[in-house]
Amino acid sequence: AHSMVGHMTRSDGSVMRTAPFVILIHLIWLFLWPVLNGESFRHVILPTILSVPVFLYLHLCTFFYDGPHTGRARYIAGVFLLSYVLSPFNLSGMGYLIFGFFTLAFTVPVRIGWRVIALAIVLFTVEMMVLGHRLNTMIGVVVPLMIFGIIAVYTGYTTLQQAVLRRSKEEIMRLATLAERERI
């Protein structure tokens, strides 16, 4: 019906009911750098592990919520907040923001989506500054956030345009069929 999965399933004609689960493979990025850098289990890995069930709840609610967009926006805001809460322990928590960018881009109009994404990146940058991260670390985090933010907005926009085009084609076909019936 009105769930994001329902929208995606209708939007391109393919069955995307598994998409919310398949994209979870990207959660590996939350653990990759901390494990490779030998970070503390108690101070980095454990808080990250504890954040995953909260994220899974918010993520799946975002995709399967069948109410007004304001309800879905609350779950997306929760994903953003989770990113800010995890970042003092693990900067890879920026991955939650990226998940949020894409769901937001399919939920709100483009003019709102890019502004919220830009604000989220600014807030994450300010948080990194407050936490005392070096400039090269901040650049290494902000650049990917900006790139994925742009990709999310572009993907949301093109999906919307494809849906509009598809509806136009369906209307043209309906009118052509109606005109042919009247002619006969």
pLDDT 10s digits, 70-84: 788 899 999 999 999
Q: Taking a C-beta distance cutoff of 8 angstroms, is the pair 55, 76 a contact? A: no
Which residue in this structure is represented by tokens 């391109």?
A: 12
Please name which of 32, 51, 145, 143 lies closest in space to residue 89, comparing C-alpha atoms.
51
pLDDT tens, residue order, the chain (184 aa): 455 555 554 555 454 566 667 777 788 888 888 888 888 888 989 999 999 999 999 988 888 888 777 788 899 999 999 999 999 999 889 999 999 999 898 888 889 999 999 999 999 999 999 999 999 999 999 999 999 999 999 988 887 788 778 888 888 888 888 888 888 8
Fill in the amino acid letter for 79: V
Give this prediction's pTM. Answer: 0.77
What's the longest Cα–Cα distance across the chain?
A: 77
Q: Quickly list DSSP for 60-119.
A: HHHHH--S-HHHHHHHHHHHHHHHHHHTTT-GGGHHHHHHHHHHHHTTS-HHHHHHHHHH
pLDDT of residue 1: 47
